[in-house]
Amino acid sequence: MEIINKLFGDRFTSDKTFRGKKILFQTLTGKEKLECDSKSLGGDLIYQLDSAKAPTLARSIVTVDGVSWKEDDEVKKIMEKEENSKLPLAEAVEQVLLEKDSEVLSALYGLYSEVVEEHRKAVDGLKKG
């Protein structure tokens, strides 16, 4: 475990503001990235990108103004449904997000892309040091 911690450290997080709300994003783990990628197979590149937005945001947004997905009423409603009692939280969030405005999803995904770029620059800096 010590070697892994030395190589990877903590997950990268960054605050962004959207519509006056403070959103805490975190980068995805390898497993989360694979989950998102598996949902975006097939079609052209535009389709693949669009179909990865909700799964990525469901896993990368930690809180909005300090409130987590677990506390969201719409997510709770999906999780409480009898047939969804074992549904992973991220998939419940995906269901909620997919019912929302696609342009807002794109804007939020753009913010996540900025977080990834910040992290990429930080990692590049580690290579030099």
What domain range includes position 55? 2-128
Give the H or E element holding residue 116: helix 102-128
Q: Is the pLDDT of residue 110 over 70?
A: yes
- pTM exceeds 0.75 for this model: yes
Half-sphere exposure of 47 (CA within 13 A, CB side): 7
Render pLDDT for 25-80 as a digit per residue (tens, 0 to 9): 999 999 999 998 888 777 676 677 788 999 999 999 999 999 999 999 999 999 88
Classify residue 11 by its DSSP letter.
P
73-80 and 89-98 helices, crossing angle to 10°: 120
Among the residues of 1-129, which ranges form H helices? 2-8, 30-38, 45-60, 73-80, 89-98, 102-128
Q: Number of folded domains in the chain? A: 1
CATH of the domain at 67: 3.30.2220
State the pLDDT at residue 54.
94
